[in-house]
Structure 1
């Protein structure tokens, strides 16, 4: 009972202090990323580089990913709509600090992969020279939330070479103890 009273007091103080809704959503997004990163096996984190920027998706591309997502246990219509809307342009991700995670800064990514005159194979060779311990690059979408920010969807891809990659959709729910992964689905493999 005491724990519930503390939780309700914290909620009340947050509303009295006038916490901005957008700041709260950014913090929720950071917590979703943290839950996802903590869900991945520890050895995975030591062998990947995480993009610091989200990739933009056009509505058709995101619609394909969403329609491929088979989790049907709950109504996710508003979450799917939010995921599509927030990912129409790229932006810096509010990533959590994590000791085992390497962040791939946008300027480094552009320097390595941004030159279309070089072959994709050559660009990956450059990446592998600079990050010899890393097996892949993970790119995250921004997080789509329902109106109460209790359900979330995030898309991510793992690229490991010119013709090597996978795409995933992850459904998370927020409970009393925070965000947790409910369903992770592999959407495509290259």
Structure 2
């Protein structure tokens, strides 16, 4: 009689271990911060974007599916990349046509079901100062003397990777005061062990 109970305990332990590992795998890792940092570092490529005096980031990952209909296909999105559509960058256009992005896009549209993760300023590697939103009001001295620069408030979603973890998609939104802000899908690819911002696809703009 002891053998079935032993087998049951082993199965329960295996299930508990498996479930626990799946949950812990959702925590943000250094690779996530490398991707976020690559995006924030390359952000000034936009035309007419004021210089950033500081980057303010929401304290946890967010998801804002504004203007994204569940049936929107990647084939439609791929044609509207900022670098492809506006800057006529043929490399970005070609990469966006890769069908591998379609499955990632379907995954990221469901990202609202993922739990939020806390973000930490010291884990970002960017040229501009990073201030977490909860600390913004507590650090006026860091922003004094910088009145001519715009401060960007960013929201960053969880990242969707392909199987080989060489492609990444996530949603980002930023607000920079007045009629300045937008929400966009961000596309990055890992080339020679470095994450490169390939293109961004705007879904709303103010």
Question: Take 1:143 and 1:100, find their aligned partners in 2: how far apart are those partners?
Answer: 22
Deviation of 1:39 (Å) = 0.8
Question: Take 1:86 and 1:186, find their aligned partners in 2: how far apart are those partners?
Answer: 17
Question: 1:138 and 2:154 equivalent?
Answer: yes
- Alignment of structure 1 residues 73-112 onto 2, 5 Å: 73-75=97-99, 76-88=101-113, 89-93=115-119, 95-105=123-133, 107-108=134-135
Deviation of 1:61 (Å) = 4.9
Give SS of 2:116's match.
coil
Question: Take 2:27 and 2:154, find their aligned partners in 1: how far apart are those partners?
Answer: 25
Give SS of 1:38's match.
helix
Given candidates 179, 191, 205, the residue that maps to 1:175 is 191
Given candidates 64, 87, 96, the residue that maps to 2:69 is 64
Question: Take 1:66 and 1:30, find their aligned partners in 2: how far apart are those partners?
Answer: 30
Stretches of structure 2 lacking an aligned partner (at least 5 in a row): 1-23, 79-95, 138-142
Dislocated runs of 4+, deviation >6 Å: none
State the TM-score, normalized to the length of structure 2.
0.56
Deviation of 1:182 (Å) = 1.2
- Please give the per-residue CA displacement for 1:42-99, whole angstroms capped at 9, x wherever unaligned: 9644244222312244xx6584399386215112233224323444343213652435
How many pairs were matched up?
151
- Alignment of structure 1 residues 35-74 onto 2, 5 Å: 35-41=38-44, 44-57=51-64, 61=66, 63-64=68-69, 67=72, 70-71=77-78, 72-74=96-98
CA contact (8 A) 1:54 1:140 kept: yes
Q: Which has the higher contact order (CA 8 A, sep 6+)?
A: 2
Deviation of 1:144 (Å) = 1.1
State the TM-score, normalized to the length of structure 1.
0.60
1:186 match: 202
Question: 1:27 and 2:30 equivalent?
Answer: yes
CA contact (8 A) 1:84 1:144 kept: no
Deviation of 1:32 (Å) = 0.9
Question: Take 2:70 and 2:42, find their aligned partners in 1: how far apart are those partners?
Answer: 21
Point out the structure with max Rg over C-alpha.
2
Stretches of structure 1 lacking an aligned partner (at least 5 in a row): 1-20, 112-127
